Amino acid sequence: MKRSKPLIMSVVAIALLGVATSAYGQDSTTPPPSETPPPPPAQTRSSGGNSISLAGGAGLGIGGTVPLVTEIAGFLPAANVVYDAGEFHVEGILGFRSQPNPGTDRSSAWVFGAGGWYHFHRGASSDFSLGAAIVINYNSAPGGSATLTAIEPGALIRAFVTPNVALFARGGLAILLGDSAPGGGANFYLGSQPTIVAGFTYFFR
């Protein structure tokens, strides 16, 4: 009995040592759980002390614009709705005017259109775009009505004065179509927006 007791204790000690060695081996071979690295910070550029994010574009904005043929063919300055997707931006154009005429009915005018601009080059707080706008001007007066269509390919420059406000001007070729165009046929003009009535956009970002 005295000999069996040390034998039993030796067997128990060997068993415990084997269990501990097995557990240690499992812990040492199990790799630690991987951690997902944090996303890189969004690229920003500074404009007048304000940080302008370039990731994803400026988003939705509203403002005002002027067709290139406004002073030539009597087009209206118009409001525009802009969506900036980063690599490009698109815009919708809409303007309206209604006024009385002495002794006759009222006259009215509509201008509506759309444009698209690819951001060819980007500066610290500005960009240079190539694209085009198509604008339709409809005039209704007691003497009749007239419709003019302007196709305006060219270049557009925007300057972000704050992260939410962009001023822009554009120039290029204006092609004026319609029976009521001067001379009754297609007219071609090369010019730019008057600098006094530069366009602007406010972005809700």
Asked if residue 28 is part of any domain, the answer here is: no
- Give a yes or no: residue 149 inside a domain: yes
How high is the pLDDT of residue 48? 47
Residue 62 structural domain? 53-203
CATH number, domain of 187, equals 2.40.160
159 found inside a domain: yes
Would you state the pLDDT for residue 201? 94
- Residue 43 counted as domain residue: no
DSSP letters, 36-74, are: PPPPPPPPEEEETTEEEE-TT--EEEEEEE--TTHHHH-
* Tens-binned pLDDT, residue by residue, of the chain (205 aa): 555 555 556 655 565 555 455 544 555 555 555 666 666 554 454 444 455 654 578 899 999 998 888 877 778 889 999 999 999 999 999 999 888 877 677 788 899 999 999 999 988 889 999 999 999 998 887 777 788 888 999 999 999 999 999 999 988 888 888 766 666 667 777 776 654 456 899 999 8
- Contact (CB, 8 A) for 168 and 199: yes
How far, in Å, CA of 87 to CA of 56, rounded? 8
pLDDT at 47: 44
pLDDT at site 80? 93
Query: Is residue 19 one of the residues assigned to a domain?
Result: no
How many domains does the chain fold into?
Answer: 1
Q: For 29, phi and psi rounded to 5 degrees?
A: -95, -15
Q: What is the pLDDT of residue 145?
A: 77
pLDDT of the residue at 119: 95
Tell me if 89 is assigned to some domain.
yes
Domain-embedded: residue 2 = no
Q: Do the domain assignments include residue 34?
A: no
Enter the pTM of the model.
0.68
